[in-house]
Structure formats: structure tokens, C-alpha cells
Structure 1
């Protein structure tokens, strides 16, 4: 069902793309607000790049429609769409200087007086005075800015960015994240940024859509997705999560009572996406604290006893694995702010958290994934890395 949107919104309606027996994008319906910085986030094979290519006109949908405002652009040729794309490879013309690379789109449209527009675009991307240089004389970050200026000079209604920072080193990538956000705010063009990098999406985008197996798992502001994920996949893909297999007994006032491994916990109703039956009780590693005795656990907190099985100093924090009495491990990130001590491997500890920092997700009993055990094995809790699904210790 299509809802009314304002004139410049990008709308994908039941968009589907199949390659033989493989469905890359499966009935995807999504609205990107006009002027938004929107990130389409997913692992390799999730369908995000195929979605971008269908919006650009580089891939023909098997079914569904692409609207820009009230205009159906599904069958338009790429050059007839008010859409431009910046690719990871930049695709600059080595035989042209920077100014002519930026002017290329205007030249093709028959515009002769291009110098004012080119100079304005180079100033926007902070490359004043670089017009006479060749692409080979520029750094990777500067080439990326030229590609961006070349796309923006055509005044697209939507700018598509396909992993544009993937070829840059970490320091430059972080600097360019800030630059891209600044440019987007200044020009006001809708940016749709495709990436597999969670930090990149959360740093730049106003809204993030997490894709998995050709479908959208959750859409929202970065903080909302991180603090209150809708599914176990989102909880594990954005950062790390400890997911405890539990049973919810329903609401009691403003709380939902759950039982995990013989211990009763509570979660505020507003933090529960399911309040009865099989659930995941989730807590982010940075929300956990450690104590050496139950007496040190503050009032109003909930806790689990265990033994430190691994410790890794990573600068801003020390990352611990705590093996629980039921045999699985919880990830705990303790900030190195000088307020607490270190915990040695083998030390007995209590991992504790505030109830309002936990969340509940529905759990399918038949599903075997990072947070759900097989039926014929005892339940486990997991600290899962966003990139690979491995435990914190394995990922190092």
C-alpha cells in the first residue's frame, strides 16, 4: 500500500529482483524522505547494491515500482532519471583534468559555459585550485571528492553512493564521513548511501535501513536501531549484543517478567517487542558492569554470576568474556576511564545491568542462529561480533 508523500520522496514499492532461482531483493517497500541522508546497510549478498542499481536504472526490476515524488521512473533509462551515482572506484577519466572531469555531465548536455558551475562545485568539495590537475596527481580522498562534485554538478534529485569510502584508509575514511555529511547538509540533495560498514552508516545517516536476505529488517534513526533493535539480526549486526534465550511470562504493571536459566529478570514494557513466550533477553556489552561480589551490585540492578575467561585491552575499553554458570560467555566492555580496577582471567565476578538497558525480542524455537540454540541443546547466551557472528575472543 502506497502512502501519500511529499513531492521529492524516493519510494520503492514491492520492488523485487530475481536472478534465476535466486531472489536478491524481495518485495521491498521503502520511503526515503526528500533531503534525507539515508543509509542502506547490510552484509555482502543482502541485496543493498542490487536495490541501488534498480533505483539508478542499471538493473531492471523483476516486479515492483520506483517513484520519485509522483513520477514513476521504473522503466526510464538511467540518463533520463534525475539520479546520479558515485561508485567506490570513482571512475574518473584519466585523460581529463579535474575541471573537465567535473564538467563532463554539463558538456554532454551541450552546456558550453561551465566554468562558474565547476568552480562552485570544486569549492564545495574543498578542491579550489585543483582544476588543472589530473586524477593521477590526487590522493584517494581527493579523487573521491572529484567524483562527488561531478555527480552533484548535474543537480540530481537523488545522489546514490555505492560504498564510496571503501577504498580509503581508516583515518581518511573517517574524515570523509564528516565531509560527506557537511556537503549533504549544504546542498540539501537526498543521499542514499549503500554500505556494509555499521559505523559509517550510523555516523553519517539520519535514517538507516538494515537489509538481510533481500528484505528490510528495520528502519529508523541510528540511535533507535542500536538501543532498541527489532530483531536478533539487527541486534547482532549493529555492534555486539548478549542475547539470552528466555521465556516471558507476560506483563506485570509496567514490567515484563522473564526467566532465563532458572533466574527471573524484568524488562520495562516499553523495551519489549514480545511479552509472552520464547524471547531473547538482550543487553549490550557496554551496558554491563562488573563487580567481585553480589554485595557490590547496586540496588535496582540485575546480575549474572560468572568467571572471567578472557580479557583484551583495546585502549578506550577493556573487553572481557565472562563464562556463566550455564557454560556460555557474555561480552562486557569496561571503559578505561580510571574509575575501576582490572579483572584477571579466572576471577569470579558478577555482570550486572539496569533493567531499562535491556530489551526483549521474539524468539523462534525452530531457528538456529547466533542467539538461539538448537532444541536438543541447552540454551546459550552469546556475545556476537557485528562483522562475522563469531565470539569476541574468536574475532581477535
Structure 2
């Protein structure tokens, strides 16, 4: 759909602009209402030129509506969209230097792969399209596939054709709307690597909308977690995973065990926490709150289990419990441990071959190092939050 040449990036050999922020995508107080329902609520966001940016959230959080406003497929109720300093808020979709790749691919079945890729160029009156088409097919590793029809390709190959068709128009921003959702797990992971390779090679801005936490963390330089039309937190995936800002982020980006407690102030470099009659500490540098109701968080893979209380390392903190459930997943075994106060903790234990599986009903001690915990402010009345065994959990490292 794009008609303008790129302001920068490496696609087609164009030099980057002198000002590295000249192609930033800026959303200012962006709001979209559908009647009384607010889908996107005063969004302020800057996506740097050349970034691989992921909008991550559950269905209904506003991420796809945000993407559609950037594409021009929805008009904002209020707010502004700027691309490289140019106001594109009211521009028609075909006037924007933006292309979208949808989950359905939307390839033309009656056209060859080459003609699908060339479609946008021909609509703009460009006649000699063959060199550009061949370069795009080479970029997505489909050399020689030009004469085939879409129905002769696998799902992953069709996805690559859709990417080539979008990229050949030289957009400043490529929008990806759940592009891997129709693929099986193995192919999806292969395409994650391919998308990251392509984005690095072409150097343009990718904005990827997904509900899949692993997909976002694998590919994106920056992840924004959306909830109820707002951004709860954004940042590099590792930073957000290790130090989430809210309970929602802690349990959406991966899994967390969140124990309800009370912070009673600092002692040196630590924050003191009381929970269920026990005392814990969390480094102040990993604490979002130092006083009042808090959630003490520990990721499941940061917990370890032992049947011998004397085996708990010095300096570690622990709780006792009983194994109530386990799931063997090859790389790790995921346990559920019921504590003495009734909360169940998730524990991901790597299968290193050093020990036997712990049986259901075993009395255990779950322990962690304080430096691996984090502390979040807790809404008064909110209790423990733990996650059940999930097939799509982030695996233990």
C-alpha cells in the first residue's frame, strides 16, 4: 500500500538519515472509542526508527486496534500519529509509508508468487519489476519460487511471500498482525528466527502485534505489554522479565509466584518483608515498593526443591510444602507445591540428570536466593497470585 520511498533504512541500499530519529513513529495521547467502550486509552509511545517493537497483550487489550490506527484502517477518536515528524493521523492507508502483513497472508490465489510480490509495484505503474521481485524473493529465501501459485506453498512459505510483497513497497514501517498464529509450533519458531534475520537485514521498523509471550521475547528489541487499552510496562524483554513493574506484567510475560506480604522498611540494601508469619528480604534495587502491602515475586525457574531442609544453601530463603502435581516436559519438570497456608507455587526444575523426579505427595522445601526475587506494590486486599502448569510457559533456562 505504501507509495512513498523510505526515509531511511538499508532496504534497497538507501542510506540512513543523518538524524537517527528522523523516522521515529510517535503516538501521542492516542485514543479509540467504540461507543461507550474505550479500546485504546490515551496511548503515548515512541517507536524508534529501525526497531523491532512488539505490542504484547491478551485479546481485547487494544493492541490490534492500535496497529489498525497506525495502518489507517481505523481512525482515532483523538490523539495524533507522527511518522518521521510527519502527521499521518488522517492520511488514507495508501498514502502512508506503511505496510501490513496479516495472519491470513491475503495472497491472491490466481496470481503466481512473483506476481503477488510485484502487485504493489504494478499498481504504482512500475513496469520493470523483475529485478526487485527477484531481490525480494532472495531476501526471504524463496529463490526460484516465482512461477508457483500460493496453494503450492507451505504455510511458512506463504508467510514469506506476504513479507516480500510488503517489503518491496519500501515502507518506513512494517506492521505484523499476529503473522505466525496460523503456523504449527516448530514452523512458528523457525519463522521467528527468519523474521528477526529479515528485519536486521532490511533495517526498517517492524511493529509486531502478538499475544504470544515467547514470540515477543524472541524477536523484539523492545516489548510493550498492553492491558485495558494502556501500556503497563515497556522495555527490553530481559529487563521486563527479570524486574516486572506490576503483577499483571509478572504473570503475563512468563509466570510468577507472587506472595502477599507487608514491607516494613529497609535494612541496609534490603527491604524487609513479612508474609505468613515468616520474614524475607528482597534487595532494594529489585523493589518497586518499600512499605505497605506488597507482592514478593519469584519466577518458577528461580525456585529449587529439596526433601532435606539441611540441604538449603546458606543465605537462601525458603518455604515448606507438598508436591501436588508434576508435568515432565523434557527440558524441565514443572511442579506444583502446596504451601502450609494453602497457596500453590510453580517450580520449574531443569532435567539435568542429577536426580530422580519428586513424586506427588512428597514433603519438600522450595528455596530461592533473595537476589532472584522482586517486590511489587500490592493493591490492598489482593492475595497471592500463582500460575498453573501451562504448555506455553517460558522454559527454564
For the residue of structure 1 that corresponds to 2:386, the secondary structure is strand
TM-score, scaled to structure 2: 0.92
Partner residue in 1 for 2:16: none
Cα deviation, residue 386, structure 1: 7.2
Where do residues 271-310 of structure 1 align in structure 2 (5 Å cutoff)?
271-310=286-325
C-alpha distance after superposition, 1:22-61 (max 9, x if no partner): 0000001111111000000000001000000000000000
Cα distance, 1:6 vs structure 2: 1.5
Match of 1:245 among 251, 255, 260: 260
Deviations 1:103-134 (A, max 9, x none): 11111111111111000000000111111111
Give the secondary structure class of the aligned counterpart of 2:387.
strand
CA separation in 1, counterparts of 2:327 and 2:275? Answer: 27
1:167 aligns with 2:182: yes
Instruction: Report the Cα distance in structure 1 between the residues aligned to 2:270 and 2:388, rounded to whole angstroms.
Output: 27
Work out whether 1:129 is the aligned partner of 2:144: yes
Corresponding residue for residue 47 of structure 1? 62
Question: How much does 1:178 deviate?
Answer: 0.5
Q: CA deviation at 1:93?
A: 0.9
Residue 382 of structure 1, aligned match among 381, 386, 392: 386
Check if 1:152 corresponds to 2:170: no
Residue in structure 2 matching 1:30, options 41, 45, 51: 45
Structure 2 partner of 1:369: none
Q: Report the equivalent of 2:118.
A: 103
Distance 1:381 1:164 in 2: 31
How far apart, in 2, do the equivalents of 1:10 and 1:225 lie?
22
Contact 2:20 2:49 in 1 (8 A): no
Distance 1:25 1:365 in 2: 27
Contact 1:52 1:160 in 2 (8 A): yes
Indicate yes or no: 2:78 matched with 1:74.
Answer: no
Pair 1:204 & 2:219 matched:
yes
State whether residues 34 and 190 of structure 1, in contact with CA within 8 Å, keep that contact through their aligned partners in structure 2: yes
Verify the 8 A CA contact 1:237 1:387 in the aligned structure 2. Answer: no
What does residue 237 of structure 2 align with? 222
SS at match of 2:108: coil
State the secondary structure of the residue aligned to 2:279.
strand
Consecutive unaligned residues of structure 1, counting only runs of 5 or more, are 367-371, 374-379, 390-396
Contact 1:290 1:352 in 2 (8 A): yes
SS at match of 1:383: coil
Provide the TM-score with structure 1 as the length reference: 0.92
Q: How far off its partner does 1:328 sit?
A: 1.3
Paired residues in the alignment total: 375
Alignment of 1:168-187 (within 5 A): 168-187=183-202
Q: CA deviation at 1:385?
A: 6.0
Deviation at 1:69, TM superposition (A): 1.6
**1:317 Cα deviation from its structure 2 partner:** 1.0
| Structure 2 alignment gaps of length 5 or more | 1-18
Q: What is residue 365 of structure 1 aligned with on the other side?
A: 380
Distance 2:205 2:280 in 1: 44
Change (3 A) 1:275 1:388: farther
- What is the match of residue 330 of structure 1? 345
**Contact between 1:217 and 1:234, CA under 8 Å: does it hold in 2?**
yes
2:380 match: secondary structure: coil
From the superposition, tell whether residues 189 and 10 of structure 1 become closer, same or farther in structure 2 (CA, over 3 Å): same
Q: Distance in 2 between matches of 1:267 and 1:68?
A: 42
Q: Does 1:351 align with 2:366?
A: yes
Question: Secondary structure at the residue paired with 2:116?
Answer: helix
Q: Distance in 2 between matches of 1:297 and 1:124?
A: 53
Mapped to 2, the partners of 1:101 and 1:261 lie a distance apart of 63
SS at match of 1:382: coil
CA RMSD of aligned residues (A): 1.5
Which whole-Å CA distance do the structure 2 matches of 1:383 and 1:301 have between them? 23
